């Protein structure tokens, strides 16, 4: 961290909220107190939208920090990763009690995600920031696409998969009609995608929940509710695997991560509460559009070498 005068750029003015813009217009600089407060509000908003739409707070945090707050990409992914752990652990408490998540599936797949996360975190130092920004942009656009897609599910009767049976993955989950049982398929494919999800998580400082759900819901044919809650459960452990590497490289700055982590935590908990009460279809659409725009911005800046 360096202490220096903060200049106002045109992008900064165009992107920040109206009060922030007016304030910057008058003073031209931000002190620690203002910077921390604006970051806290911004992260809270990000965490709120992230949990409301199911895309996770981390997805918008890195663009928020790098584009709006002019934070270096490495500090941004460090702060984002920490907040990902906070959201995962904070909301896992709520999900676990509902009995949807499958601890065995989660633990087994975490072998792949944590190893992937180590690889991803290792790569952050080897790959130039602009290339990371390009990957980030593509990932944003892809997650927006995944969240919009309707998934047709063929529910044909299939005999239980021998490997999944051996791994004791077949289980039940509570439904309106009592306990419903389900079988798990294509474990190796799931493991492969999970390794990729872990690597992306470690490389970009995100939870990569979208990819984890794809692995479980699409590849392994696990019921959607079980997939999403188990994914949320796994995100914290995956992120913890790259957090150690981030810490030893100096990517985690406490003064930057503090408002981000506290903001995302509060925002996502509020989002979980609201989620139960409201229909979020139009909000999801708006948020997906915002994510696509942020993705394009990251992509263009990465291609232009501006990181």
Do residues 270 and 35 lie in contact, with contact meaning Cβ atoms separated by under 8 Å? no
Query: In terms of Cα–Cα distance, which of 187, 135, 139 is closest to 160?
Result: 187
Shortest Å distance, C-beta 259 to other proteins: 8
Query: Looking at 133, 141, 252, 298, which residue binds other proteins (CB under 8 A)?
Result: 252
Record the tokens describing residue 255, joined without a space: 């003064």
- Residue 49 near residue 271, CB atoms below 8 Å: yes
Question: What's the min distance (Å) between Cβ of 146 and other proteins?
Answer: 22
Residues 78-97 that bind other proteins (CB under 8 A): 82, 85-86, 88-90, 92-94, 96-97
Task: Provide, rounded to whole angstroms, the least separation between the CB of residue 248 and other proteins.
Answer: 5
Do residues 227 and 213 touch, judged by C-beta distance below 8 A? yes
Interaction residues for other proteins, span 61-80 (CB under 8 A): 69-75
Contact status: 31 vs other proteins (CB under 8 A)? yes
Query: Within 266-305, which residues bind other proteins (CB under 8 A)?
Result: none
Q: Which of 45, 122, 83 is nearest to 235 (CA)?
A: 83
The correct pick among 15, 23, 35, 45 for binding other proteins (CB under 8 A) is 35
The verdict on 230 binding other proteins (CB under 8 A) reads: no
User: SS3 for 182?
Assistant: strand
175 DSSP β-pair partners: 178
Question: What part of residues 134-173 is at the interface with other proteins (CB under 8 A)?
Answer: 155-158, 167-168, 172
Contact residue for other proteins among 261, 294, 298, 299 (CB under 8 A): 261
* CA nearest to 29, candidates 9, 51, 45: 9
């Amino acid at each position: 961290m360096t202490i220096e005068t903060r200049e106002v750029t045109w992008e900064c003015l165009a992107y920040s909220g109206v009060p922030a813009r007016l304030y910057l217009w008058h003073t031209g600089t931000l002190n620690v107190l203002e910077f921390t407060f604006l970051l806290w509000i911004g992260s809270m908003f990000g965490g709120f939208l992230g949990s409301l739409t199911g895309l996770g707070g981390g997805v918008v945090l890195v663009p928020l920090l790098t584009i709006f707050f002019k934070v270096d990409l490495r500090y941004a992914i460090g702060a984002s990763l920490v907040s990902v752990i906070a959201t995962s652990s904070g909301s896992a408490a709520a999900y676990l009690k509902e009995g949807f998540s499958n601890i065995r599936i989660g633990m087994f797949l975490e072998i792949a995600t944590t190893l992937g996360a180590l690889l991803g975190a290792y790569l952050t130092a080897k790959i130039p920031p602009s290339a990371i920004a390009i990957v980030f942009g593509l990932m944003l656009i892809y997650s927006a696409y995944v969240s919009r897609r309707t998934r047709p599910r063929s529910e044909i009767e299939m005999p239980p998969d021998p490997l999944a049976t051996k791994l004791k993955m077949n289980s039940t989950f509570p439904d309106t009609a009592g306990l419903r049982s389900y079988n798990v398929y294509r474990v190796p494919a799931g493991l492969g995608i999970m390794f990729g999800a872990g690597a992306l998580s470690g490389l970009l400082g995100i939870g990569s929940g979208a990819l984890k759900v794809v692995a479980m819901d699409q590849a392994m044919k696990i019921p959607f509710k079980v997939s999403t809650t188990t994914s949320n459960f796994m995100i914290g452990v995956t992120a913890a695997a790259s957090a150690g590497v981030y810490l030893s490289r100096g990517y985690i700055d406490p003064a930057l991560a503090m408002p981000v982590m506290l903001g995302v935590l509060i925002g996502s908990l509020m989002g979980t509460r609201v989620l139960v009460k409201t229909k979020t279809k139009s909000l999801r659409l708006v948020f997906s559009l915002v994510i696509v725009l942020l993705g394009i911005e990251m992509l263009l800046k990465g291609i232009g070498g501006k990181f």
